[in-house]
Amino acid sequence: MKKKNKYRGFTLAEVLITLGIIGIIAAMTLPTVVSKYREQVVLTKLKRIYSVMNQAIKQSELTNGECLYWETTLKPIDFYNKYYRGYLKVTKIEEMPAGNDDAILIYFADGSLLKSFRQGRDYNFIIDQKNLKKNPNGLLMGKDVFTFRFNNDLGAQTSVQAKYHKGKGFEPYRFDWKGTEEDLHNGTYGCDKLIKYAGQQADYCTALIQFHNWSIPEDYPIKF
């Protein structure tokens, strides 16, 4: 009489079924994992550029005086050379062709870059510089591009419109913000939908993320 093998292995059918179940679970969870990873990349770079730029401003103030009184009529390249040069670790500075608000591109070692324009007052932070080269007009505000502002002069702007920027350094774009989270979603600059980079809208997405302690809120309108 043959003894039963108490160490009987799995049949091929059982192995295939198990692998199929594992594959289904992986297919269901992988997009979420990838999305969370992309979120973390974005958040890490946003916090880094915010810290790096404000540290540079503080260091520059020791030589150039309080940033509230920095010149506001310079071209972006001249503004960079006077106030940022020597205080930022960059890999390259590139001047854009005429017709682009005299903009310059400031490249960083982590693969991100800043587009500085309008006298060094407005900034578009581009998460991946490779994407700008591949599809410059296809980038999405609030996902690929995030808006910051350095505003030390009111000019023709009212104090109400610029109160979240004047003399405060390098900050997420809050021009004309009314002060509520709801307003960060709505209005001219609201972070409420997918908007192409060339449209220059959805500028409040950066402020919305900072409003939530540099995290992506549950109702964030853009998926990563």
150-199 pLDDT tens trace: 987 655 456 778 888 887 899 999 988 989 999 999 888 889 876 766 55
The Cα–Cα gap between 104 and 111 comes to: 16
Domain boundaries, the chain: 12-211
Residues near 144 by beta carbon (within 8 Å), at least 6 away in sequence: 126, 127, 128, 131, 197
Residues near 164 by beta carbon (within 8 Å), at least 6 away in sequence: 171, 174, 175, 177
* pLDDT over 70 (residue 59): yes
Model pLDDT for residues 75-131, shown as the tens digit of each residue = 999 999 999 999 999 999 999 887 777 899 999 999 999 999 988 889 999 999 888
Task: Match 């919305």 to its residue by tokens.
Answer: 208
- Residue predicted with more confidence, 60 or 201: 60
Residues near 192 by beta carbon (within 8 Å), at least 6 away in sequence: 185, 186, 202, 221
What pLDDT sits at residue 144?
92
Q: Is residue 71 helix, strand or coil?
A: coil
Q: Which residue in 82, 95, 90, 94 sits closest to 110, CA to CA? A: 90
What pLDDT sits at residue 153?
65
221 contacts 208 by C-beta, under 8 angstroms:
no
